[in-house]
Chain A
Amino acid sequence: MAPTPGFEYVRPSSVEDAVATVSGDPTAAYLAGGTTQLDLVLKDRVISPQRLVDITRLPLRGVTRTSDGLQVAAMTTMEELAADPTVTRELPLVREALLSGASTQLRNMATIGGNLLQRTRCRYFRDPTVAACNKRDPGSGCAAVTGHARMHAILGASEHCIASHASDLCVALVALDAVAHLQSMGGLSHVPLTEFYRVPGDRPDRETVLEHGELVTAIGIPLLPPGTRSSYLKVRDRASYEFALTSAAAALVVEHDVIRFARLALGGVGTVPWRAYEAEGILVGAPVSEGAFRAAAEAAVNDPFTVSGTEFKVELAKRTVVRVLQTVARNAS
């Protein structure tokens, strides 16, 4: 059945007001999650909230340096965060991930909170004329697994869903153990981004741990140990303005050609931003070497689920990991 057009538009005056409005109304939704939310409501007609709660005027903007990192208010734009002095100096992987996403025009409008909560670009999810989509209609199946799946995920994927998480920024953020600050009726809570996204399993419709009405107000980004080098590498067909086929964020501390600290996460291949803990374990203590990088890459792309059209991503993702590690190690030594 087609969604019912028409909705009420609300512009609350405070965070508390916004949270109360959405929490108290199961048919309400934040007008958030980037432009994709508007697309999904108005253009693609995938979701049909009865009440849209506009948070764009709430005082949730700016980057603050804290004792152990950065606190980024949710409405800070991508360009603002990319230009932040700490990000520029100490977190190149964040800056590079931000600047590899979208276009300058979009980054001047798009927010960090919106980036976290953007919905997948899977065309099978976004077209209601496609019947089979477990994310849109739980239990209906997944048309993408037999469709054009080149842009889809191979990690955290299954026959239930292969929709990829499109964010570049979140790949860097999960590598950094960033923390989402959530406001609910019960107060403020903190969830590590690595636990924020749900691997779809047989419930692809449940994408995050957010409860209805909970609002992301900020992201906490811890700083890296002194001497860390980092980078983000994005592989795609176009030179700009395209989602990743594969990507990787890496941070290393190298002392005397031995890796002392490692962070690694993958994008373009995961149903969620994909942290590669096992690969990090392989890297720490290993000498800087092609062999160690390849072993880490093998571990990072462990047990992929592929369909026709995504097989190539297994090897490409591994090579992406090796290349980003080479780049970071070269800068680190």
Chain B
Amino acid sequence: MTETKPAPTLLGAGVDRVDGLSKVRGEAPFPSDVTYPRLAHAALVRSTIAAGRISRITTRAAEEAPGVLAVITHQNMPRLERGPATLIGPSPVSPLQDDQVFHHGQYVAVVVAESLQQASAAAELVDVEYEVAAGVFDLDDPRGELRVDPWGSGARRGDVEGALASAEVTFEASYSTAANTNNPIGLFTTVAAWEGDTLTLHDSTQWTANVRTTIAALFGLPEESVRVHAPFLGGGFGAGLRVWPHAVIAAVAAQVTGRPVKLELTRPQMFTGIGYRPATEQTVRLGALRTGQLVALQHHATIAIGIVDENPEPVTLISQSAYACPNVDVRDDERRLNIPPPGPLRAPGAAQGTFALESALDELSYKLGMDPLELRLRNYAEVDAHSGLPWSSNALRDCYAVGAERFGWAQRNPEVGSMREDSWQIGYGVASLSYHWWQVRCEARATIGRDGTAFVRSAANDIGTGTRTVMTQLSAELLGLGLSDVRFDLGDSTMPWSPAAGGSGLTTSLGVAVDDACRSLRGKFLELAVQGPGSPLAGCSSDDVVVSGGRLHRKDDPGVGESYAEVLARHGLDELSADGLGAPPDPAQTGLALSPPFAAKFAEVRIDADLGILRVARLLTVVDAGRILNEKLARSQIVGGTIGGIGQALFEETSFDPGTGRIANATFGDYLIPVSADVGDVDVAFVGQPDPLTPVGTKGVGELGLPGTAAAIANAVYHATGRRLRSLPIAIEQLY
């Protein structure tokens, strides 16, 4: 018997994006590129008050303006129910349903015209009068309704108060994080076109299937009558996980005018219409032994929420299982404010919660006189405290060790304010993190045709993360084909059902479905290959046959076999297809906790204390995300998340005007995100092993770069200066 060498793996390698060239050439169709014959354009009118009601709305001048086809307000808008709840929470409230105003920037009318310019000009002619009520804008304003643990996500184990009372060392502090806006570069766009009772939508979404389900429900249509295209998205960061009001308005506008309608949000509208990370106030109480062992951990958060919308934002979830601690109490409360409805923004909840938890751990380490990294090691959680089950995989200790070595943690002088270079004070900080990703049911379909190439697809979305690319790699590997012989397509609601590109869950959910589809397809070919007259593999059992280089051949004699194309030809088939289903593993059967990805984050900051100038010199993230399908793309995710974390730490704050609730900085000139000069040396390393719970072995990487960045930076600032900053973003006025 001859030993065959294993085929070189397509996975893990830094394969270039399969759609990179089409993007660079401007050929990739983003939603804002879509056009139709007789396309009409819509422009939105937004409320200029934050609370009250519309007392009069006059549309005549707008209706009479050149090119105007329709003006829709709450007075002539079709009545719509609220969209159905989804896997990630309730739908947004349907727009233009009554005269009530709950936030500044709420849509109060839409103008549809022949051109965008005509629509925008006429939108300014819509005259709205309001009865203004007092708005509530501050998280600590008791006039805003406080919802205690509205999602029932609070959790307790042990006796926190008792443990705090008897702890050798205790610590308590409050932290706050500002609202941050997603700010994808691509302006969210919906193009809606009706043909009889069928509706086609081209939409900026991270979840094609959800747009179809939601729109079908709102318009009382069977799901097959709604087709959603979302092959490309110019960034989402969570903003595309819900069907926001503008998409509904576009569909109504197309229905009312009988014309295809394009509705592209403006940059200021991107601040009020597609969600954003809500502000939080948090309190952390810790109790520990002198050895550093945690005996009590309490983490409570109050999170901003709109008046009528819902937004599950699991801020304290991370504190349930981050550390081994017998007595834990976490709770997320919400306060309703007259603010635009918040929504997911990269690492929702964890972005804010990790800042508080990891800052508090750092503070405790100084109180104990212990190296902050050592404190985390001593509280390493051997099991998932949430389920009590052992982790399916956890290389967090490797993250610490590899990170400390690579970063040069040993060069850190533990004394606060001791490290200097010229006028710069230098500090090192560390944070530990994980992200509660999710795996859900997902479907895919794989086909091989007469030309011997494969077509694999799912209704999933590639939001710029590289889903197309890694699924092409995975399919090619499983089918024994070269990358150029596999086409993976997505973003079309007629394809098999997929969950959202969000929550760090898609690569695993979809990967398992693709794995299943490709294995099934391979199995079908194997069955056919050994059958029929003229089969070179006749008499082989399917165990004797393997697939590589587009051929099915004998394991022990690669020369004996035939190609996919030959199998199809011999059986007179045009193509062969197989469906794949990915379902999450059941902890009751596996006895293992579905492990999150883990990481350690190290930061070096430099501070000119006289002028309050803070620069982040270095950031290192060491990641255990299970199997890495494409190191180049995974690294890019972590780097991008880290830069988002720099933004959260130093710059980003969505500011609401006191009294009016207007967003005071809804432009890129006023809302600061990091520029290249703000991003120093950003380093990434991967550790760990494939997670055993799925055949693909992946854990999510999408969110993981962001949480912990702000904590590592704030912890480094303390080490450099002795200033403990508990409020984000860290601004110059806090530093000098």
Contact = CB atoms under 8 A, between A and B. Distances in A.
B564 to A, nearest CB: 50
A312 interface: yes
Interface string A316-332: 10011001000000000
Interface string B626-664: 000000000000000000000000110001011100101
**Top 3 nearest A-B pairs by Cβ distance?**
A2-B124, A239-B677, A240-B677
A148 B655 contact: yes
Interface residues of A, number: 31
B178 to A, nearest CB: 12
State which size class the interface on B falls in. Answer: 20 to 34
B615 A239 contact: yes
A5 B669 CA distance: 24
Interface stretch (A91-99, A122-130, A190-198): A122-130
A240 B678 contact: yes
Interface string A151-178: 1000000000000000000000000000
B678 A239 contact: yes
Interface in B15-31: none
B677 A130 contact: no
B664 A312 contact: no
Given A129-B48, A237-B650, A316 B124 contact: no
26 contacts: A2-B124, A5-B117, A6-B121, A121-B669, A123-B664, A123-B665, A127-B662, A129-B48, A129-B662, A130-B662, A146-B659, A148-B657, A148-B665, A151-B670, A235-B611, A237-B650, A238-B672, A238-B675, A240-B675, A242-B672, A315-B736, A316-B612, A316-B732, A316-B736, A319-B736, A323-B610
B736 A238 contact: no
A147 B664 contact: yes
Nearest to A311: B733
A238 B674 contact: yes
Contacts of A143: 657
A239 B616 CA distance: 10
B613 interface: yes
Contacts of A245: 732
Interface in A210-260: 235, 237-242, 245
B708 to A, nearest CB: 21
Given A2-B125, A240-B678, A123 B732 contact: no
A11 interface: no
Interface string B676-700: 1110000000000000000000000
B528 interface: no
Interface in A1-54: 2-3, 5-6, 45
- Pick from B117, B615, B675, B732 the residue with the most CB of A within 10 Å: B732
Contacts of B117: 5
Contacts of A2: 124-125
B611 A240 contact: no
B651 A238 contact: yes
A6 B120 CA distance: 12
Contacts of A124: 664
A155 B615 CA distance: 28
B252 to A, nearest CB: 24
Contact of A240 (B120, B667, B676): B676
Nearest to A129: B48
B641 to A, nearest CB: 19
Nearest to B659: A146
Contacts of B672: 237-238, 242
B662 A241 contact: no
A143 B731 CA distance: 23
Most-contacted residue by chain B among A2, A3, A123, A150 (CB, 10 A): A123
Nearest to A239: B677
Nearest to B610: A319
Contacts of A242: 672
Given A146-B658, A237-B731, A241-B675, A320 B664 contact: no
